[in-house]
Structure 1
Amino acid sequence: MTKNGKPGFWDNLIAPKGGLFGAQLAGWTPGPAARSGLGCRVLADQMIEVAPSIALAADVYVPRTEGRWPAVIAFSAYSKELQAAGVPAGNNESGSPPVFTDRGYAHVIVTRRGMGRSGGEDAVYLNDTDVEDHARVIQWAAAQPWCDGQVVLFGTSYYGLTQPQVARLRPLALKGFFTNEMCTDFFRHIAMFGGAPQPDFFALWMGANFTPLQFRLHLPPLLRAVVSHITNSALKHLWWPQLKKRMTRIMRTFERQVPTPQARKLFAGLMLDGKTRETSVLPAGPSGALGDIEVPFVVVQNAGYLNLHQFGAYDLFENAGTPRDKRWLIIGPATYDLPVYAWQLEALAFFDHLVYGADNGYAAQPRVRYWTEGTKDYRSASDWPLPSSSPLRLYPASNGAGAATHRLDRAPGTAGTNRWAAVPLGAIVTAGFDEVENQRLTFELPVEEEMELTGPITLCLSFSSNEIDSYVVARTGLIAADGGYQILSMGAIRPACRRIDAARSTLTEVAIDIDVPEPLVPGVPVTLRFSLTPQPVVLKPGERLVLDIASRTDLLRSDVSHGHAQFDMQVPPYYARNTLHYGPDTYIELARAGEARSDFHV
C-alpha cells in the first residue's frame, strides 16, 4: 500500500524549529506532558495508495527517538510544502511539526488528490472521494512501523473542516479529533453569507492557494528547516505586527493572482450557478449527519471570523453523537495570526489524555470554556447555550432623523420608522452623497449595571424596501468609557430569502432557506429573523452597547489588523431606500448569563 523510500541524505541535516504563537490554553495549566524532549525528523514525500494507480503525498514528522507513536493527521487540499517552514501563509494551518514530535507524536501532513505530488485529478473541494481517501490515510498511518496504531486529527480551517467529515465514517484507528475554525454546512457557512455569494473570500482563497505555482511547488526538507529557524525565532514578535498592519493590502495582491483553470471554473460555478443547495458545486457537509460521530473531540471557535467559519462549531457541539462528557467547546478570543500556531498545547493536553491515558486534568475540564471580552478572562459552563442564561430583549427606537444616534430600550416603544440608503458596493454616487443620505442606522444602550452577555444573538426586524430585494447587515459593538470602539458580532440576511429552515437550525443559529426567494413588495413590511455571531462579553457601567444596521459589510468594517477576518460582499443588488419599522416585532435578543459558572483568570 506504500511506495516509500528512505529519507534523503540532506533531509534531516538540520531539524526544523517549532513554533508556538497565539492562544494555546483555554484558561488552565495541564499536568505534566506524557512525553517530552524527543526532537524531530522528517520522512518526506511518503506515498499513500488510496486507489489503483493513485497515491497521495505526505510528509511524516516523527521523534528522533526510535519508537512507535500515536499519529496526528492533518488532511487538506493545500500544498504540504510550506507547512513546516512557518511562513505566514493562509494555508499554513496544520500546526508546527516539531511541537508534536517533541511530545511523542508522529505528525502526518497529507495533500489530497490532484495537488502537488499527489496523484489523481483535482476536483471540487471537500468531496466524498476526499473523505474516503482521508479514512484510508488514517488506516495507513495506523499500520506504519512508526505508529502505535492510534490516530488523532488536528488542524484549522480546511484542516478542521475535514475532521467531522471523516469521523462520520468511523475509521477503526481514529481515537478523537481537535478541530479549529470549522464549518458543518458548506452551503450556508462558506459559499453563501446571509443568502449572497462570497466573491471576496473565494477570489482571495483561490488566488492564494490554487495557482499553478502552488500545484508545482516543491521545497526540500532542508530548506524548510532553515526557513523555520527564521520564521519561528523571537523576531516574529517584531515582524508579525508590521506585516499584520499591511495584511489587507497583501490580501488584495493575492486576489489578483490567477488560479488554475479548474479553480476558476469552480469560482464561476459558485458565483453564477450555486444559488441553491441543488445547484451548488460544493458538497453539503456533515451537518444533519453529525450523530454518526462517536469519538471524543474538542472544537474551538475563533470569535474573530465574522462571515466565515461561524456556527459550525456550535452545530458540531450540539448535534454530534459523541457522549456528552467526551466533547468540549472552546470559544477563544478574536485573533488573526499566520501561520495558525494557536491551540497546539491545548490539543496536546487533550491527546495525552486520550491516547496516552495521562492524568493531566483534561477529563475534569468543563465542557464549555469561553473567552470573555470586557474582563479578558476565560469562563466556563456545563453546556452551550449556558444553562443559567436568560433572554434579554432590547428594542430599537428612534431619536429622530435616520443619521442620529438612536436608542435601545428594554420595552417596545411606539410605532415609527427610520430609513437608510442601500447603495451597491462600488456603485456610482455623486460627490458628497453621504452628507445628505445616511447608509446605516446606529442604536445605543448605556450600561448602568455590570452584566455578562454570553450565548446566541438573534435579530428580528420589521423591514421594508422600495425595491424587490436588498441586503441587511447588522453588528454589535462596545464603546468603552474612554470612547474606544470594539466590534463584537455580525450577521446578515438577504430579505428576499427570509424563510427559516427549522430543520437545519440549531440553538445558536437561525438557518435561512434561500433556495426559493420571495421578492419583496415595495413598501410592504416583512419580518427578518437571523443570527449574529456569538461573542461573550461583560458590559460595565459607563460603557455603551451598540447595534449598527446597514446594507454592506464594508460599511461596518473591521479587518485583520484588529484581529477580525471579514470579507466584503457584492451587495446590495439595487439602489434602494430601506425602512426599519419600530415596535414589538423589531428587537435584538441576547443571552444574559446568570451566576452558575466558574472563572479561569489568565
Structure 2
Amino acid sequence: MSNRAFTVSEETYITLKDGTRLATRIWMPEGAEADKVPTVLEFLPYRKRGGTDPRDESTYPVFAAAGIAGVRVDIRGSGESDGVIDGEYTPRELSDAVEVIDWIAAQSWSNGKVGMMGISWGGFNCLQVAALKPEPLKAVISIASTVDRYNDDIHYKNGCHLYAQLSWAATMLAYSSRTPDKALVGDKWKDMWMERLEGEPFFMEEWIDHQTRDAFWAHGSICEDFDSFPAEAMVIAGWADGYRNTPLKAIEGMPKKAKALVGPWVHKYPHFAFPKPRADFHGEAITWWNRWLRDEENGAEHIPQMRAYILDGPRPALRRESDPGFWVAKQEWSKPETQVFAVNAKGKLTSDGDAAGIGSVFVKTPLDCGTASGEWFTLKPDAEMAGDQRQDDAGALVFETAPLSDEAVFLGAPELSLDLSCEADWENLVVRIVDVHPDGTSTRASYGVLNLAHRESNATPSALPQGETVAVKMQLDAFGYRFQPGHRIRIALATASWPLIMPSPEAPGVTIDTASLRLSLPLLGVHERIEVKEPDNPDPLPSYPMHSDGKTRRWVEKDMTSGLTHYRISEDTGLEEHPGNGLRTSEVREECWSIDPTDPLSLRGECTWETRNARNGWDVGTKTTSVMTCTRDEWVISATLKAFEDGKQIFQKTFEKRVKRNFM
C-alpha cells in the first residue's frame, strides 16, 4: 500500500437531473487531477455526520492513502441531502445511485472506474445498483447483505413474520426524521427538516401490505437474475449475524463473479467486528479495488471462491470477545456431501441408518419460548447473540446424539425433512441445531423457521389440510461448525420463538412423525487450512469525546399475575461530540415485546426512539413511538412522530393502519 497524501471535503454537492442536491464527503488523493484515480462509493441514509462517521474515518483515509478516492453520499432525504426518503431500495434510490456513479466517472480526477461498497443497507444497494449495469461500476464489496429481500432480510423469513420488521421500521422512522446539520446547510436547515417530517413514510405501512413474496420483494432481489449480474463481487458476512446466508447464495448463484468470506462476526465491518478473530478488510479491499478498478495484476481473481471461519465449539457468554476456530478455503464451491441423521427407536439422533423413530409426537411450544435466541441481526457480541439454549430446549421436542467419538465438521446450509399434521390452517415450525458441551452448556450452531402455509411457496401460500399428514422440507441457515469429540449434536423442534417470530393466530401445535425426520448436515469435505490476515491496527475506530456515557440493558420479565412475559431492550448511545465539526448526537431506544404464553393474540411490540442533534445555541431532536398488535384476522400498526426545538414540541404526526393477515 502507498502512503499518498489526501484531502477531505464536505463542500461538494451532486445535483441530480430533477434538481435534488445530494451531500457528499470526499476523500481525494493528492494529485488526482494529474494522475487520475479510481473511486469507491458508499450510498446510505445513515448520515455521514452524526451517523457513520467513525467507520468512515477508519476506512476512507486508508483508501485515499492508497490512491483510491472515497465518495460517501447521503441518499435523498437523509443527512444534508435534499428531499424526502421514499422507502428502502426503491427505484428512485437506485436510479439516484446510477446518476451519482455517472457523475463520479465524469469528474476530471476520475479514471472512469467506480467501485461500490457497504454493509447492510449499503451492502444491499451496491448489489442492486450493479444489477442495473451502470457502465462505470466494475466491482462491489457487499457486507452483511442479501440477494433475496423476502427471505433474508428483517421482514419475513420463510413466511414467518420477524419482530425485526417493526423494530427496523421504528429505527428508520427515527433516523429519517433527524435534521440536517445547520453548520453545513445554513439557514435552510429548518425548512429541509420540516419537509422531511411532513413527508417521510412509516415504512411498516408498506412492508405489511406485502406479506408474501410478490413483485415488491422481487424488486432488488438479485437472485431473480443471477446470470446477468455484471460486476465482480466480494460478499462478506458473519456467522453471528442474520445475513449469514448471502455469501453462500452469491457463489452458488454467480460462481464466475462472486467470492465469499465468512467470519465469526456480528453485523459489523470485519476489521473491527466481534467476536474475533478479525480480518484485514482494508488490505482485502485495496487488493480488490486495484484489480478491478486499476487492472492491476495482483491475483485477486484467484482468491478462493469460499473462505470461511469454522467455529470450534464456542460457549455462550455474557460477551463473546473471541470465538475458537480455524479458517478454511475451498478454491471452488460445490454442493457438499451430507451426513444424514434420523431418530432411532430409543429416541436418539443417529446417522447409522436406524430411523425407526418413537412414533408421532404432538408439539405445542409455550409462546414465550425463544428468549435465548438473541437479535435477528446482531450489532454487539453480548446478549444480542444467542445464549445458552437449554432454557428454550425445555419448551421444544429434542433429540440428540450420543457423545461423539470423532469430530464432525460442517460447512453449508443444513436441510430438514419430516412429515407432520396440524389441526389448523397454519402453524410455525422452528428448528435449531445445538452443540451440547460435556457439561450440558448448549450453543446454537444453526436454526431455521418456516410458516407451514409457505411449505411449497412463499409467493402463493396455502392452508394446511387439517388433520392430514404432509411432507415438509426446509433449509436452515448456513453454518461453519466443528462439533468436538465428547460433544453431542441436538436438534430442537418447536412452534414458537419469541420474540424472533410472531405466532400464528391459533398457535395450534403440530404432530410430528418422528420416523420421517431426516436432518442433512453439509460436510466440510475437501479443503485447505489457511490464514486470514488480521488488521494491523487492533483498534481502528476513532474515539470521540463523550458528554454522557452510553448504557445497554436487555432482560426478560414474567408477570406471575397477568401471565405476560415481557422481553425488554434499552439502548442509550450517550451524548457524543465529533471533535472535528462539534456536532453532538445521541440516540435512546426502548423496546418491549409482550405476550401471554397461552394466547397468540396477546402479542404486542412497542418501540420508542429519542434522537438529539446539538451545538451551543442549537438543540433539536425527535421522539417516535411505534406499536404493533393483532387480532385473529388483522395486523394493527401505529406510530407517532414528534419533533422538538430547544425543548419545545414543534411538530407531531401519527400513522395508523390495519391490514388483513395473509397466512402471517
- For residue 524 of structure 2, what is the aligned residue in structure 1? 593
Aligned residue runs from structure 1 range 144-543, under 5 A = 144-190=107-153, 191-198=155-162, 200-211=163-174, 214-218=177-181, 265-271=202-208, 273-278=209-214, 280=216, 283-306=219-242, 309-320=243-254, 324=256, 326-337=257-268, 341=272, 343-358=281-296, 360-374=298-312, 376-385=325-334, 389-397=336-344, 399=346, 406-415=348-357, 416-425=359-368, 439-445=395-401, 446-499=403-456, 513-543=457-487
**For the structure 1 residues 362 and 481, does the alpha-carbon distance in structure 2 shift closer, same or farther, using more than 3 Å as the test?**
farther
User: Partners of 1:408 and 1:93 in 2: how far apart?
Assistant: 49
Contact preservation (8 Å) 1:266, 1:281: no
**For the structure 1 residues 265 and 206, does the alpha-carbon distance in structure 2 shift closer, same or farther, using more than 3 Å as the test?**
closer
Contact preservation (8 Å) 2:84, 2:200: no
| Match status 1:51 vs 2:5 | no
User: Partners of 1:336 and 1:464 in 2: how far apart?
Assistant: 37
Q: Alpha carbon RMSD of aligned pairs, Å?
A: 3.2
* TM-aligned CA deviation for residue 65 of structure 1: 5.9
* CA displacement, residues 419-471 of structure 1 (integer Å, 9 cap, x when unaligned): 322344599xxxxxx99x96211221232222321122111121222332111
**For the structure 1 residues 575 and 582, does the alpha-carbon distance in structure 2 shift closer, same or farther, using more than 3 Å as the test?**
same
| Match status 1:141 vs 2:104 | yes
**For the structure 1 residues 85 and 517, does the alpha-carbon distance in structure 2 shift closer, same or farther, using more than 3 Å as the test?**
closer
Counterpart of 1:444, as a letter, is E
SS in structure 1 at match of 2:308: strand
**For the structure 1 residues 369 and 281, does the alpha-carbon distance in structure 2 shift closer, same or farther, using more than 3 Å as the test?**
closer
* TM-aligned CA deviation for residue 178 of structure 1: 0.9
SS in structure 2 at match of 1:304: coil
**For the structure 1 residues 155 and 368, does the alpha-carbon distance in structure 2 shift closer, same or farther, using more than 3 Å as the test?**
same
SS in structure 2 at match of 1:51: coil
Counterpart of 2:27, as a letter, is Y
- For residue 513 of structure 2, what is the aligned residue in structure 1? 581
| Match status 1:553 vs 2:491 | no
Counterpart of 2:353, as a letter, is A
**For the structure 1 residues 319 and 547, does the alpha-carbon distance in structure 2 shift closer, same or farther, using more than 3 Å as the test?**
same
Q: Which runs of 5+ in 2 are unaligned?
A: 185-195, 274-280, 313-323, 371-389, 533-664
**For the structure 1 residues 487 and 212, does the alpha-carbon distance in structure 2 shift closer, same or farther, using more than 3 Å as the test?**
closer
**For the structure 1 residues 459 and 135, does the alpha-carbon distance in structure 2 shift closer, same or farther, using more than 3 Å as the test?**
same
* TM-aligned CA deviation for residue 74 of structure 1: 0.6
**For the structure 1 residues 104 and 97, does the alpha-carbon distance in structure 2 shift closer, same or farther, using more than 3 Å as the test?**
same
User: Partners of 1:593 and 1:574 in 2: how far apart?
Assistant: 41
**For the structure 1 residues 516 and 106, does the alpha-carbon distance in structure 2 shift closer, same or farther, using more than 3 Å as the test?**
same
Contact preservation (8 Å) 2:89, 2:220: no
User: Partners of 2:343 and 2:118 in 1: how far apart?
Assistant: 41
**For the structure 1 residues 152 and 203, does the alpha-carbon distance in structure 2 shift closer, same or farther, using more than 3 Å as the test?**
same
- Judge which range, 140-149 or 152-161, deviates more: 140-149
**For the structure 1 residues 213 and 102, does the alpha-carbon distance in structure 2 shift closer, same or farther, using more than 3 Å as the test?**
same
- Percent of aligned pairs with the same amino acid: 20
* TM-aligned CA deviation for residue 303 of structure 1: 1.7
Contact preservation (8 Å) 2:307, 2:329: yes
* TM-aligned CA deviation for residue 472 of structure 1: 0.8
- Judge which range, 189-198 or 171-180, deviates more: 189-198
User: Partners of 1:213 and 1:517 in 2: how far apart?
Assistant: 34
User: Partners of 1:43 and 1:183 in 2: how far apart?
Assistant: 32
- For residue 597 of structure 2, what is the aligned residue in structure 1? none
Contact preservation (8 Å) 1:465, 1:520: yes
- For residue 74 of structure 2, what is the aligned residue in structure 1? 111
Aligned residue runs from structure 1 range 64-79, under 5 A = 67=33, 68-79=36-47
Contact preservation (8 Å) 1:94, 1:156: no
User: Partners of 2:214 and 2:260 in 1: how far apart?
Assistant: 31
Contact preservation (8 Å) 1:84, 1:97: no
* TM-aligned CA deviation for residue 138 of structure 1: 1.0
SS in structure 2 at match of 1:189: coil
User: Quick check: which one's helix share is greater?
Assistant: 1
User: Partners of 2:69 and 2:165 in 1: how far apart?
Assistant: 33
* TM-aligned CA deviation for residue 135 of structure 1: 1.3
**For the structure 1 residues 39 and 120, does the alpha-carbon distance in structure 2 shift closer, same or farther, using more than 3 Å as the test?**
same
Contact preservation (8 Å) 1:423, 1:574: no
* CA displacement, residues 181-228 of structure 1 (integer Å, 9 cap, x when unaligned): 111221222221120222x3133323334326753142869xxxxxxx
* TM-aligned CA deviation for residue 409 of structure 1: 4.3
**For the structure 1 residues 476 and 579, does the alpha-carbon distance in structure 2 shift closer, same or farther, using more than 3 Å as the test?**
same
* CA displacement, residues 40-69 of structure 1 (integer Å, 9 cap, x when unaligned): 532215221222222222211223565532
- For residue 552 of structure 2, what is the aligned residue in structure 1? none
* TM-aligned CA deviation for residue 140 of structure 1: 0.8
User: Partners of 2:198 and 2:437 in 1: how far apart?
Assistant: 49
Counterpart of 2:63, as a letter, is F
The alignment covers a number of residue pairs equal to: 478
* TM-aligned CA deviation for residue 589 of structure 1: 0.8
* TM-aligned CA deviation for residue 314 of structure 1: 3.0
**For the structure 1 residues 448 and 151, does the alpha-carbon distance in structure 2 shift closer, same or farther, using more than 3 Å as the test?**
same
* TM-aligned CA deviation for residue 262 of structure 1: 6.2
* CA displacement, residues 325-348 of structure 1 (integer Å, 9 cap, x when unaligned): x53111222434489855333212
**For the structure 1 residues 135 and 443, does the alpha-carbon distance in structure 2 shift closer, same or farther, using more than 3 Å as the test?**
same
* TM-aligned CA deviation for residue 546 of structure 1: 1.8
User: Partners of 2:351 and 2:57 in 1: how far apart?
Assistant: 46
Counterpart of 2:485, as a letter, is P
Contact preservation (8 Å) 2:147, 2:221: yes
User: Partners of 1:336 and 1:174 in 2: how far apart?
Assistant: 25
Query: If the length of structure 2 is used for normalisation, what is the TM-score?
Result: 0.66
